[in-house]
Amino acid sequence: QEIPGKEKKWYDNIHLGGYFQVRYNNLFETNPDLECEQCDEFWGADGGGFSLRRMRFKITGQIGERVFMYFQPDFAKSVDGSIHVARIKDAYMDIGLDDRNEYRVRIGQSKVPFGYENMQSSSDRLPLDRNDAINSGVKDERDMGVFLYWAPERIRHLMKELKPYKHSGDFGVFGLGIYNGQTANHPDENSVFHVAARFSYPIKLKKNQIIEPGIQAYSGKYVLPEVSPEVHTNAAMEYLDQRIAASFILYPRPFGIQAEYNIGKGPEFDKSTLSVKEKSLHGGYATLSYFVQRGHQQIIPFVRLQSYNGGKKHELDARSYEVMESEAGIEYHPFKHFELVAVYTVSDRRYEDYIKQNNHQTGSVVRIQAQLRF
């Protein structure tokens, strides 16, 4: 494809893309006190207006035969209550270890290989927010670390074929790595790395169906970032942080299933003793979807059920949670690059810390999102 005598230009090697999401979170809201800090800071917030959930652009490129780069800032992050500030999401390099880059070492801030939905881009996900259960393991999905990924060429071709079906992108068939463990954009607080491993394998069945079962686990020591002064904690506020999860995906051709479940141990606020204790946790979700193609248009109805029972280490006092939630929604693509989503959510959430020791919120709401991707 290269014209002889024509040298490569900078724009041949790198690619600029991105997406952003505008939301309205308050239609037919029955309980303004119902919120989900991990999901969307503007859901159940003081005001009831429009908000920008993500404003990302990315610069990526296979800039050398063995060298790949991925840099993605988000301009809709917060710093100390100031919104719409630019901060890093991903900043990593992939170094190929063999000629076909089947083995790669990934260095920098990148996604921790734990959970299919965590790996998947938010621009592809059907529900507006990630599930509480798996995502509370690695809030913001990323961390500073070094990861080894392996993906044979044959499977990579299959992954490309899966792209229209909201596949997670090439995070390898096998991933193994070490990382700081305090989640993205937080510096390390102890000298112990977290370790994570994941194995996920797409399989082509008869009748044109493709499934992808997966398994993953991580373990480490987490240092609590925020504790009320009255609450008792371990010395150095350091806690075991350990999970294992199973994933099952049936790609939507046209009917799809995406289900994951994890169990583990981590810090959790205990209101009877006003302390943070190491406790067990468990939870998961299942998303069912149906892809309808009408000419250039796509319509995807979906439902999701989820539950979570455990602490959220990254929140105040490792806040204690008990979540049951069901959602039904429709994602609609009237043209390329643009999509609209409307979701009806019925939620039952108990979430308690030192400040709100008895806090059980239930309610329903319709949320709407417009997304542009380029």
Q: Is 220 in the site for a second copy (CB under 8 A)?
A: no
Using the contact rule CB under 8 A, the part of the chain among 87-95, 256-264, 278-286, 359-367 near a second copy is 87-95
Using the contact rule CB under 8 A, the part of the chain among 52-60, 197-205, 273-281, 342-350 near a second copy is 52-60
Among 2, 8, 28, 80, binds a second copy (CB under 8 A): 80
Between 51 and 289, name the residue whose CB sits nearer to a second copy: 51
Distance CA 303, CA 280 (A): 28
Using the contact rule CB under 8 A, the part of the chain among 5-13, 249-257, 283-291, 358-366 near a second copy is 5-13
Residues 6+ apart with CB under 8 A from 62: 13, 68
Q: Is 20 in the site for a second copy (CB under 8 A)?
A: yes
Q: Is 187 in the site for a second copy (CB under 8 A)?
A: yes
Distance CA 25, CA 45 (A): 9
Contacts of 152-155 with C-beta under 8 Å, sequence gap 24+, read: 152/102, 153/100, 153/102, 155/201, 155/202
Among 31, 37, 91, 233, binds a second copy (CB under 8 A): 91
Among 52, 274, 286, 330, binds a second copy (CB under 8 A): 52
Contact flags string 235-274 toward a second copy, x per CB under 8 A: ----------------------------------------
Residues 96-155 that bind a second copy (CB under 8 A): 107-109, 144-146
Min dist CB 149 to a second copy, Å, is 16
Q: Is 179 in the site for a second copy (CB under 8 A)?
A: yes
Rg, the chain, Cα only: 21
Min dist CB 25 to a second copy, Å, is 10
- With CB under 8 A as the rule, give the number of residues binding a second copy: 73
Q: Is 163 in the site for a second copy (CB under 8 A)?
A: no
* CB-based contact 86:77 (threshold 8 Å): yes
The per-residue DSSP string of 210-232 comes to EEEEEEEEEEEEEE-S---TTSB
Among 101, 182, 287, 307, binds a second copy (CB under 8 A): 182
The single residue listed with the structure tokens 């596949």 is 167
CA dihedral 101, 107, 108, 114 (to 10 degrees): 70
Q: Is 13 in the site for a second copy (CB under 8 A)?
A: yes
Q: Is 211 in the site for a second copy (CB under 8 A)?
A: no
Sign of CA dihedral 97, 101, 105, 107: positive
Q: Is 22 in the site for a second copy (CB under 8 A)?
A: yes
Residues 322-341 that bind a second copy (CB under 8 A): 335-338
Distance of CA 193 to the CA centre of its chain: 21
- How far is it between the farthest Cα atoms of the chain? 75
Per DSSP bridges, beta strands 67-79 and 50-62 are antiparallel
Number of H helices, E strands in the chain: 4, 18
